[in-house]
Amino acid sequence: MALSLKRRGIDRVRPLEGGYEGWVSEGFPLQQWVPAETTSTSIAVGA
């Protein structure tokens, strides 16, 4: 995916180590995902 973005001119690309699960396992905050992507609410998960 990173390669694919670089081909589209987005070159300052950095992958997040551990991805979503890595972020969650650190207990950092998440944002609720809403299907329509119209509104979002910040929620704290373990932090």
Partner 1 sequence: MNASIEFLSTYGPMLVFTSVLLEQAGVPIPCTPWLIASGALARLGHGTIALPIALATVAASLGHLVWFFAGRRWGSRVLRLVCRVSLEPDVCVQRTENVFTRYGARALIVAPFIPGLTTLAPPLAGMSGMHLRRYLALDAIGDLLWTTSFVALGWLAGEPFFRLVGVVMGYAGSAAGFFAGGLALYLAYKLLQRLRFRAQLRVDRLSAGELKRRLDAGEDMVLVDLRHRREVEDSGSTLPGALCISPEELDRRHKEIARGRDVILFCS
Per CB under 8 A, 38 contacts partner 1: no
CB of 43 to partner 1, least distance (A): 7
In 10 A of CB 34, how many CB atoms? 10
Side-chain-side CA neighbours of residue 16 (13 Å):
8
CB of 9 to partner 1, least distance (A): 6
- Report CA Rg, the chain: 14
Per CB under 8 A, 18 contacts partner 1: yes
CB of 36 to partner 1, least distance (A): 12
Q: Phi, psi (5° rounding) for residue 9?
A: 90, 5
Per CB under 8 A, 39 contacts partner 1: no
